Amino acid sequence: MIPLNSSVVSGVALSKVDGEVKMLLMKRTKGGFWCHVAGSIEEGETGWQTIIREFHEETEIGVTELYNAQCFEQFYEANLNIIEIIPVFVVQCPLNQAVSLNSEHTEYRWCTLDEAKALVSFPGQRDVYDHIWANFVLSEPSSLLKVNIG
Protein backbone atom coordinates (compact mmCIF):
# COMPACT_ATOMS: atom_id res chain seq x y z
CA MET A 1 0.00 0.00 0.00
CA ILE A 2 1.15 3.54 -0.75
CA PRO A 3 0.38 6.07 2.00
CA LEU A 4 -1.45 9.32 1.21
CA ASN A 5 -0.17 12.67 2.46
CA SER A 6 -2.38 15.74 2.56
CA SER A 7 -0.38 17.93 4.96
CA VAL A 8 0.57 20.51 2.31
CA VAL A 9 -1.47 23.24 0.59
CA SER A 10 -0.68 25.45 -2.38
CA GLY A 11 -1.92 28.71 -3.81
CA VAL A 12 -1.78 30.65 -7.04
CA ALA A 13 -1.81 34.45 -6.93
CA LEU A 14 -3.59 36.41 -9.65
CA SER A 15 -3.11 40.13 -10.27
CA LYS A 16 -3.77 42.50 -13.11
CA VAL A 17 -0.25 43.61 -14.08
CA ASP A 18 0.13 46.32 -16.71
CA GLY A 19 -3.52 45.85 -17.68
CA GLU A 20 -3.40 42.06 -18.10
CA VAL A 21 -4.29 39.30 -15.62
CA LYS A 22 -1.22 37.28 -14.71
CA MET A 23 -0.25 34.58 -12.21
CA LEU A 24 2.75 34.62 -9.91
CA LEU A 25 5.52 32.07 -10.37
CA MET A 26 8.72 31.85 -8.36
CA LYS A 27 11.98 30.00 -8.92
CA ARG A 28 12.89 27.74 -5.99
CA THR A 29 16.35 28.09 -4.49
CA LYS A 30 16.37 24.35 -3.78
CA GLY A 31 16.00 22.52 -7.08
CA GLY A 32 15.88 25.61 -9.31
CA PHE A 33 12.39 24.89 -10.66
CA TRP A 34 9.46 27.29 -11.12
CA CYS A 35 6.41 26.96 -8.87
CA HIS A 36 3.67 28.77 -7.03
CA VAL A 37 3.32 29.21 -3.25
CA ALA A 38 3.07 26.04 -1.16
CA GLY A 39 3.76 24.89 2.35
CA SER A 40 3.09 22.46 5.16
CA ILE A 41 0.15 22.79 7.51
CA GLU A 42 1.38 23.47 11.04
CA GLU A 43 -0.27 22.13 14.18
CA GLY A 44 -3.52 23.95 14.93
CA GLU A 45 -3.84 25.47 11.44
CA THR A 46 -6.50 24.92 8.83
CA GLY A 47 -5.48 24.61 5.19
CA TRP A 48 -6.66 28.13 4.37
CA GLN A 49 -4.80 29.61 7.34
CA THR A 50 -1.66 27.86 6.13
CA ILE A 51 -1.81 29.34 2.64
CA ILE A 52 -2.30 32.84 4.06
CA ARG A 53 0.78 32.35 6.29
CA GLU A 54 2.81 30.90 3.43
CA PHE A 55 1.96 33.82 1.13
CA HIS A 56 3.12 36.23 3.81
CA GLU A 57 6.34 34.28 4.49
CA GLU A 58 7.30 33.64 0.85
CA THR A 59 6.12 36.83 -0.88
CA GLU A 60 4.97 39.34 1.78
CA ILE A 61 1.57 39.38 0.05
CA GLY A 62 -1.19 40.10 2.56
CA VAL A 63 -4.08 37.87 1.51
CA THR A 64 -7.46 39.63 1.58
CA GLU A 65 -9.38 37.68 -1.07
CA LEU A 66 -9.02 33.88 -0.97
CA TYR A 67 -10.81 31.18 -2.96
CA ASN A 68 -10.96 27.41 -2.81
CA ALA A 69 -9.85 26.49 -6.34
CA GLN A 70 -11.76 23.19 -6.18
CA CYS A 71 -8.78 21.27 -7.53
CA PHE A 72 -5.83 19.32 -6.17
CA GLU A 73 -2.23 18.85 -7.11
CA GLN A 74 -1.66 15.10 -7.07
CA PHE A 75 1.55 13.21 -7.62
CA TYR A 76 3.57 10.22 -6.47
CA GLU A 77 6.75 11.12 -4.61
CA ALA A 78 8.99 8.14 -5.39
CA ASN A 79 11.77 8.86 -2.87
CA LEU A 80 9.22 8.81 -0.02
CA ASN A 81 6.77 6.29 -1.54
CA ILE A 82 3.91 8.70 -0.83
CA ILE A 83 1.01 9.99 -2.88
CA GLU A 84 0.73 13.74 -2.29
CA ILE A 85 -2.74 15.29 -2.47
CA ILE A 86 -2.50 19.07 -2.18
CA PRO A 87 -5.55 21.37 -2.05
CA VAL A 88 -5.11 24.47 -4.22
CA PHE A 89 -6.23 28.00 -3.35
CA VAL A 90 -6.46 31.14 -5.46
CA VAL A 91 -5.43 34.53 -4.10
CA GLN A 92 -6.96 37.52 -5.90
CA CYS A 93 -4.45 40.35 -5.49
CA PRO A 94 -4.78 44.10 -6.07
CA LEU A 95 -3.52 45.67 -9.30
CA ASN A 96 0.25 45.41 -9.85
CA GLN A 97 0.75 43.45 -6.60
CA ALA A 98 4.22 43.98 -5.10
CA VAL A 99 6.26 40.88 -4.23
CA SER A 100 9.17 40.54 -1.82
CA LEU A 101 10.69 37.06 -1.86
CA ASN A 102 12.21 35.23 1.08
CA SER A 103 15.27 32.97 0.79
CA GLU A 104 13.22 30.02 -0.57
CA HIS A 105 13.12 31.65 -4.02
CA THR A 106 15.65 33.41 -6.24
CA GLU A 107 13.31 35.27 -8.59
CA TYR A 108 9.68 35.73 -9.53
CA ARG A 109 7.62 36.54 -12.60
CA TRP A 110 4.04 37.59 -13.22
CA CYS A 111 3.06 35.33 -16.13
CA THR A 112 0.28 34.84 -18.64
CA LEU A 113 -1.14 31.32 -18.75
CA ASP A 114 1.09 30.35 -21.68
CA GLU A 115 4.21 31.83 -20.05
CA ALA A 116 3.49 29.99 -16.78
CA LYS A 117 2.92 26.65 -18.52
CA ALA A 118 6.18 27.07 -20.46
CA LEU A 119 8.19 27.74 -17.28
CA VAL A 120 7.04 24.86 -15.07
CA SER A 121 8.48 21.35 -15.11
CA PHE A 122 5.53 19.25 -13.99
CA PRO A 123 2.38 18.32 -15.96
CA GLY A 124 0.28 18.64 -12.81
CA GLN A 125 1.24 22.30 -12.50
CA ARG A 126 0.07 22.98 -16.05
CA ASP A 127 -3.25 21.24 -15.28
CA VAL A 128 -3.73 23.42 -12.16
CA TYR A 129 -2.98 26.58 -14.14
CA ASP A 130 -5.44 25.61 -16.89
CA HIS A 131 -8.14 25.00 -14.25
CA ILE A 132 -7.48 28.29 -12.48
CA TRP A 133 -7.38 30.27 -15.72
CA ALA A 134 -10.69 28.77 -16.91
CA ASN A 135 -12.50 29.24 -13.59
CA PHE A 136 -10.96 32.41 -12.14
CA VAL A 137 -9.78 34.47 -15.13
CA LEU A 138 -11.97 33.58 -18.11
CA SER A 139 -15.06 33.37 -15.92
CA GLU A 140 -16.11 34.92 -12.63
CA PRO A 141 -15.59 32.47 -9.73
CA SER A 142 -18.64 31.39 -7.80
CA SER A 143 -19.09 33.26 -4.53
CA LEU A 144 -19.50 29.80 -2.96
CA LEU A 145 -15.76 29.24 -3.49
CA LYS A 146 -14.75 32.33 -1.52
CA VAL A 147 -13.13 31.48 1.81
CA ASN A 148 -14.36 33.60 4.71
CA ILE A 149 -11.07 34.63 6.27
CA GLY A 150 -12.86 36.99 8.63
Which pLDDT tens digits describe the chain residue by residue (150 residues)?
Answer: 999 999 999 999 999 999 999 999 999 999 999 999 999 999 999 999 999 999 999 999 999 999 999 999 999 999 999 999 999 999 999 999 999 999 999 999 999 999 999 999 999 999 999 999 999 999 999 999 999 997
Q: What is the dihedral of CA 121, 124, 84, 64, to 10 degrees?
A: 100
pLDDT at 33: 95
Q: How many CB atoms lie within 10 A of CB 92?
A: 18
pLDDT at 150: 79
Give the per-residue pLDDT at 112. Answer: 98
Going from the C-alpha of 149 to that of each of 39, 46, 51, 67, 110, the distances in angstroms are 18, 11, 11, 10, 25
Buried b / exposed e over 3-28, threshold 16 CB at 10 Å, is eeeeebbbbbbbbebeeebbbbbbbe
